[in-house]
Amino acid sequence: MKGTYEVASLRKHWVQVPARDAAALAKAERTTGADFATAGERVWEGDTFVYLPITINVRSGAKVRR
C-alpha cells in the first residue's frame, strides 16, 4: 500500500533524531559523520517526507570525500 511503511524496516536505515535534542544530534553527527549544520534553511517538506540535505564526509585511506 502506498505511503505505508513498516517502522522496524525503516529503522534499519534511518535514525530518528529530535531536532531540539542537542545531545542526540551530536551523537548522530559523530556516529554518521553527517554535518547537520549544512542543511541550514534548505529543509523542505513533501507529501510524505521531510527532506534535510546534509553533507557526509567519507574517509577512504588518506582521502576524504564529501
| Domain membership of residue 25 as a residue range | 17-65
What is the spatial distance between Cα 59 and Cα 42, in angstroms, rounded to a whole number? 25
- In this prediction the pTM is 0.47
Phi then psi dihedrals of residue 3, to 5 deg: 85, 0
pLDDT number for residue 5: 60
Within a domain: 55:
yes
Question: Which residues of the chain have a pLDDT value below 70?
Answer: 1-5, 7, 10-11, 13, 40
Measured CA distances, 56 to 1, 24, 27, 29, 51 (Å)? 32, 17, 15, 9, 15
Number of domains in the chain: 1
Measured CA distances, 42 to 2, 4, 27, 55, 66 (Å)? 26, 26, 22, 12, 18
Within a domain: 12:
no
